[in-house]
Structure 1
């Protein structure tokens, strides 16, 4: 159905740079149905198989509590989806050494072969937004912020990335708005500017809720 809303997860990787904090972004293809040619963070829809992914360390308790909702994927499933999307779209693994208790699904074999397991502990739930009605695709997206130091390996090595995002690059926050961004990404950038470099979860999480007849802005506490 055109207006069906899919659950989704996005990762904002951040690191210090010579011109201040930097975030990892890439450009969607010009022929993409959803947000063509826009610069975005790695992310995408939750897959059913994400529920079976073992995490070497779980999501923090405060983040898990804010994500918990009847009818939605479990918090750890949303975290696994975000980590998988990061791996698929950039080739970067948010992972730690560990042995998988079961054979990994094909999309995770590249991580498992390196003796790694995904870890959700570095993730902080910082934003949520539901795509407004009338768009070709709609998502209920949860945004996670993570320090790039939690990546296993070289954060400049995108050789394992798929072709879903092009022009992968670390962009200074101060320059990000000069790129062609979706409106919601501009809002997320403003929100995370005060969170980068801090420890712990935010005091509350902004939620742009377009699930009903009228848009609502709420904060998840």
Structure 2
């Protein structure tokens, strides 16, 4: 089947926050120069939801408040697929494992085989839904991206071992949060970084989630479980 590249695809992005109480840093990598979407930019691990993600058996579920927020203005029952996509993209692009020890009830799909062979099942309980944004019209790819924050303490294994990562992101590194804007970032990443900086000392999921909805007619800055906020020039 030929993919419609003009369609808005659901996507999940993971912001891993390390040493949040002492010297907070975030994990980022650089997209390739020939990438169709955001070439050369430094980004968080993430990507589109695959059809198979809905069937991945999670060892633990999302926090209830995050599950509820993800369901607002969204397709019915998408929460589990988004959580699985976030964990899968983190694994594929960095080699880091967000999971719990355990055996899979059935053989793991090919994208998860290495994850399963390490003796882990994906776990969503540490994922906090903190931001949502739809790519503006006119871009070569458009995504309805949900951004998840996870404390690095929930990662299994060595936080500096990227040996299992794919080659989709280069220059993987922990970047001090207060220096991240020195890198070549997409606009939306800068917006999300401001949200993360404001939440760095608060370990609880946010009471409401910002939603940047870019449409053909207008752009809206909404709050999931809140009220619309008018955009300013």
Distance in 2 separating the partners of 1:21 and 1:70: 32
Which among 6, 15, 20 is matched to residue 18 of structure 2? 15
SS in 2 for 1:132: coil
More off after superposition, 9-18 vs 80-89? 9-18
**Count of matched residue pairs:** 221
Q: In structure 2, do the counterparts of structure 1 residues 18 and 66 end up closer, same or farther at CA, with 3 Å as the change threshold?
A: closer
* Cα deviation, residue 18, structure 1: 10
Distance in 1 separating the partners of 2:34 and 2:103: 39
More off after superposition, 97-106 vs 68-77? 68-77
SS in 1 for 2:199: coil
Q: TM-score of the superposition, structure 2-length normalised? A: 0.91
Q: In structure 2, do the counterparts of structure 1 residues 47 and 73 end up closer, same or farther at CA, with 3 Å as the change threshold?
A: farther
In structure 2, what is the equivalent of residue 151 of structure 1?
A: 155
SS in 1 for 2:17: strand
* 1:104 counterpart = 2:108: yes
RMSD: 1.5
Q: Do the aligned partners of 1:14 and 1:21 also contact (CA within 8 Å) in 2?
A: yes
Q: Which runs of 4+ in 1 moved over 6 A?
A: none
In structure 1, what is the equivalent of residue 141 of structure 2?
A: 137
Q: Do the aligned partners of 1:3 and 1:133 also contact (CA within 8 Å) in 2?
A: no
Q: Do the aligned partners of 2:20 and 2:200 also contact (CA within 8 Å) in 1?
A: no
Q: TM-score of the superposition, structure 1-length normalised? A: 0.96
CA deviations over 1:11-56 (Å, ceiling 9, x no partner): 0000117972000000000111100000000000000010111111
